[in-house]
């Protein structure tokens, strides 16, 4: 699915001044962005005009719109759009694409998964997401994608990656459904039994280069196991995971659908609950009390809704998908009303990468959030969950120059998030790219 923005982005870039020659003959290191409407801090600010000065990948100053453009700077004029901080998606799977059946998934090599991740990183960036948290990938694939982007080899958002999800044997992140010896070959090696082995898996993840830890605390919709969506780990195992992660400076994201698994994860001290499908009232209260983040992933449900009843899923998966779909938006509505902190996350990979921005309208329509609250969840909220508040989340001097311009007013109409007209990541204007 395309962004629907290719021609408009191209038209915009024609309006941008050509690169000015800098002293010494290179291209200008300073970019001045004159924005008709800018929301610098989504928590508090109204849209206002501004001149944003970017240098060496960072925001250097925010000036009045009629301030003089620094000599030698490249001027970019953004009219008819709203400039907001670069968007953050805290739940993606860059190395996966949706809609593959059971056998097709088993044929994907790590090399192909890495290539897929590089392609999806570019698509995600073009959709306005300048930072993503990858929460589940095979072997070293997402680390390779992350590092290739960080080294400037390929375009993409800033990536934080967990590597393989930690799971119980036969759980959501294990491989089931084939002959036992085939399951063994395909397995991630990240399953554990008992507190000691679970602590070991966390240390192994840290050693491989994980930025955070992802666990699957309950069953999951898309894995080939028919044991429902309830709690998998023991309380001891969960506590061993969170304590070990904390000792290594890593935060823990817990995939949890059943209320028992959400509650046990919260009590063990995880940082975020992913999906949260059957979240009960007592659990909402516990999350608020402990400051646990909720990552709603409403687009994951969209991915299921697009595929149920089409003979893509096995019977075990089809039954779980229907059970989860009956609860679409209910957990966000309860968590939001109950004062739980919400961080934006979509589960891209379960649906087509690049459609991440559709989550905003779902948060408003199905989750009962105001458009401004949805924007906060994808900027300052998500930045806080990632521990990157000093670097991203607002447009402010000293922060990374991650900027997105949307056609329309995102505070009035959340569909504006699907109309991305300009993206800057770490000070670089992202090339418009062809429709995909």
Q: Which CB sits closer to Zn ion, 216 or 292? A: 216
CB of 73 to Zn ion, least distance (A): 41
CB of 103 to Zn ion, least distance (A): 21
CB of 347 to Zn ion, least distance (A): 4
Instruction: For residue 431, count other CB atoms closer than 10 A to its CB.
Output: 13
Site string for Zn ion, 99-128 (x = CB under 5 A): ------------------------------
Contact region for Zn ion (CB under 5 A) — 224-232, 343-351, 360-368, 374-382? 343-351
CB of 164 to Zn ion, least distance (A): 13
Contact region for Zn ion (CB under 5 A) — 40-48, 109-117, 244-252, 341-349? 341-349
DSSP β-bridge partners for residue 273: 254, 294
CB of 254 to Zn ion, least distance (A): 11
**What pairing do the DSSP bridges indicate for beta strands 87-92 and 403-407?**
unpaired
Q: Which CB sits closer to Zn ion, 237 or 347? A: 347
CB of 388 to Zn ion, least distance (A): 20
Q: Which CB sits closer to Zn ion, 275 or 419? A: 275
State which H helix or E strand residue 272 sits in: strand 272-275
> Where does residue 104 rank: exposed (0-12), middle (13-18), buried (19+ CB within 10 A)?
exposed
Q: d(Cα 326, Cα 303) in Å, to the nearest integer?
A: 14
Instruction: Locate 104 and state its tokens.
Output: 């097709």
Contact region for Zn ion (CB under 5 A) — 7-15, 27-35, 278-286, 346-354? 346-354
Q: d(Cα 134, Cα 93) in Å, to the nearest integer?
A: 5
Sheet of 213-216: strands edge to edge? 213-216, 252-256, 272-275, 293-295, 341-342
Q: Which CB sits closer to Zn ion, 346 or 380? A: 346
Determine contact, residues 6/432, Cβ cutoff 8 Å.
yes
* 347 touches Zn ion by CB under 5 A: yes
Instruction: Locate 137 and state its tokens.
Output: 């990938």
Instruction: For residue 26, count other CB atoms closer than 10 A to its CB.
Output: 9
Q: Which CB sits closer to Zn ion, 279 or 430? A: 279
Which 8-state DSSP code applies to residue 175? Answer: -
Which 8-state DSSP code applies to residue 417? Answer: G
Contact region for Zn ion (CB under 5 A) — 176-184, 263-271, 342-350, 352-360? 342-350
Contact region for Zn ion (CB under 5 A) — 70-78, 236-244, 339-347, 351-359? 339-347
- Which residue's C-beta sits nearest to Zn ion? 347
Q: Which CB sits closer to Zn ion, 89 or 237? A: 89
State which H helix or E strand residue 147 sits in: helix 141-150
- How large is the C-alpha radius of gyration of the chain? 22
CB of 135 to Zn ion, least distance (A): 6
CB of 17 to Zn ion, least distance (A): 42
Size of the site for Zn ion (CB under 5 A): 1
Q: Which CB sits closer to Zn ion, 357 or 433? A: 357
Q: Which long-range contacts (CB under 8 A, 24 or more apart) does 231-235 make?
A: 231/258, 231/260, 231/261, 231/264, 232/167, 232/168, 232/171, 232/172, 232/261, 233/168, 233/198, 233/261, 233/264, 235/264, 235/267, 235/268
CB of 87 to Zn ion, least distance (A): 18
Q: Which CB sits closer to Zn ion, 260 or 347? A: 347
Q: Which residue has the tokens 């909402």?
A: 284
Q: d(Cα 216, Cα 230) in Å, to the nearest integer?
A: 11
Q: Which CB sits closer to Zn ion, 347 or 358? A: 347
Contact region for Zn ion (CB under 5 A) — 49-57, 124-132, 347-355, 377-385? 347-355
CB of 183 to Zn ion, least distance (A): 21
Q: Which CB sits closer to Zn ion, 84 or 331? A: 331
Q: Which residue has the tokens 């699915």?
A: 1
231 half-sphere exposure, CB direction, 13 A CA radius: 16
Contact region for Zn ion (CB under 5 A) — 15-23, 59-67, 164-172, 345-353? 345-353
Residue ranges in contact with Zn ion by CB under 5 A: 347
């Amino acid at each position: 699915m395309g962004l629907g923005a290719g021609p408009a982005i191209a038209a915009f870039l024609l309006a941008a001044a050509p690169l000015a020659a800098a002293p010494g003959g290179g291209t200008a290191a300073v970019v001045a962005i004159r924005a008709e409407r800018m929301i610098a801090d989504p928590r508090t600010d109204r849209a206002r005009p501004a001149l944003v000065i970017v240098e060496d990948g960072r925001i250097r100053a925010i000036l009045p719109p009629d301030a003089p453009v620094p000599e030698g700077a490249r001027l970019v004029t953004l009219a008819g759009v709203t400039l907001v901080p670069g968007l953050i998606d805290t739940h993606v799977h860059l190395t996966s694409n949706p809609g593959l059946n059971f056998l097709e998934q088993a044929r994907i090599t790590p090399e192909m998964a890495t290539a897929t991740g590089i392609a999806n990183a570019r698509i995600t960036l073009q959709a306005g997401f300048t930072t993503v948290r990858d929460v589940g990938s095979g072997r070293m694939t997402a680390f390779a994608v992350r590092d290739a982007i960080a080294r400037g080899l390929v375009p993409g958002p800033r990536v934080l990656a967990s590597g393989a999800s930690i799971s119980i044997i036969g759980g959501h992140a294990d491989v089931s459904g084939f002959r036992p010896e085939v399951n063994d070959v395909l397995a991630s090696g990240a399953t554990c039994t008992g507190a000691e082995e679970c602590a070991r898996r966390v240390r192994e993840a840290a050693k491989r280069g994980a930025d955070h830890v992802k666990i699957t605390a309950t069953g999951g919709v898309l894995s080939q196991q028919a044991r429902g969506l309830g709690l998998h780990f023991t309380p001891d195992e969960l506590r061993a995971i969170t304590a070990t992660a904390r000792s290594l400076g890593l935060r823990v994201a817990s995939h949890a659908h059943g209320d028992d698994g959400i509650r046990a994860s919260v009590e063990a001290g995880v940082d975020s609950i992913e999906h949260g499908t059957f979240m009960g009232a007592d659990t909402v209260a516990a999350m608020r009390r402990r400051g646990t983040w909720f990552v709603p992933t409403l687009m994951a449900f969209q991915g299921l809704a697009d595929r149920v009843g089409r003979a893509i899923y096995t019977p075990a998966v089809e039954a779980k998908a229907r059970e989860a779909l009956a609860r679409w938006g209910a957990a966000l509505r309860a968590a939001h009303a109950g004062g739980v902190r919400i961080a934006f996350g979509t589960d891209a990979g379960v649906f087509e990468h690049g459609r991440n921005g559709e989550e905003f309208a779902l948060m408003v329509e199905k989750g009962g959030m105001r458009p401004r609250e949805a924007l906060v969840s994808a900027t300052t909220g998500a930045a806080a969950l990632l521990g990157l508040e000093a670097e991203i989340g607002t447009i402010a001097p000293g922060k990374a120059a991650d900027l997105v311009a949307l056609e329309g007013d995102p505070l009035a109409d959340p569909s504006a998030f699907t109309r991305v007209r300009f993206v800057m990541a770490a000070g670089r204007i992202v090339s418009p790219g062809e429709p995909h």
